[in-house]
Amino acid sequence: MNSGERRLRIREQLAASGGPVKGAALASLFSVSRQIIVQDIAVLRAEGASIVATPQGYLLLSRGASGVLTKTVVTRHTDYSSMEEELRVMVERGAKVLNVIVEHPLYGEITGNLMIFTSADVERFMEKMRENDGEPLSALTGGVHLHTLEVPDETTWRSVLEGLREKNYLLEEK
């Protein structure tokens, strides 16, 4: 199989997976090195594929999924416990947390892909943060950050906002 055929099959695998796929799994499937997969993913992205790298693997984002709304929310938290609670509020009320964004005074916008869809994803993310003594990006901005969310409808969006407001995570203009 040539590289073009392999990239087509990689894209098909990601589309059919329904979730993230580890680069090592793709490398094994196509009998190539992990580095070849990294290069293939870069080419696919250059060709316009919306592929993101997450801690759980590569994920092909669907463009314009019907009935799905993409929203941005500005929040603030100060520690691991509140970060975990904030993420839980969003996913338990039906949102998919795609990323976290901070505005750094020197580097500008910094984005970290999260792809947190379930409470189990929140648990895995927090476990990795603790295992690696990770600092959230929001530590650079006094806890203030943005999340890009996918929600199925306006009712879910309002529920997410209300949940964040109740826990005092929602940053709103006064």
> Distance (Å, rounded) from C-alpha 49 to C-alpha 21?
15
Whether residue 109 contacts residue 145, with contact meaning beta carbons closer than 8 Å, is answered with no
Taken in order of first residue, the domains within the chain and their CATH numbers are 3-60 (1.10.10.10), 69-166 (3.30.1340.20)
Structure tokens at 2: 């040539």
Listing DSSP states for 64-101 in one string gives T-TT-EEEEEEEE--SHHHHHHHHHHHHHTT-EEEEEE
Amino acid letter at 17?
Answer: S
What are the distances in angstroms from CA 167 to CA 31, 84, 163? 49, 12, 6
- Tell me the one-letter amino acid at 100: V
For tokens 């993101």, the residue is 52
* Cβ atoms 141, 105 nearer than 8 A: no
Give the separation between CA 98 and CA 115, rounded to whole angstroms.
Answer: 4
Model pTM?
A: 0.73
pLDDT in tens, 49-108: 888 887 788 988 765 555 688 899 999 998 889 999 999 999 999 999 999 999 888 888
pLDDT digits (tens, 9 = 90+) for 140-165: 888 999 999 999 999 999 999 999 99
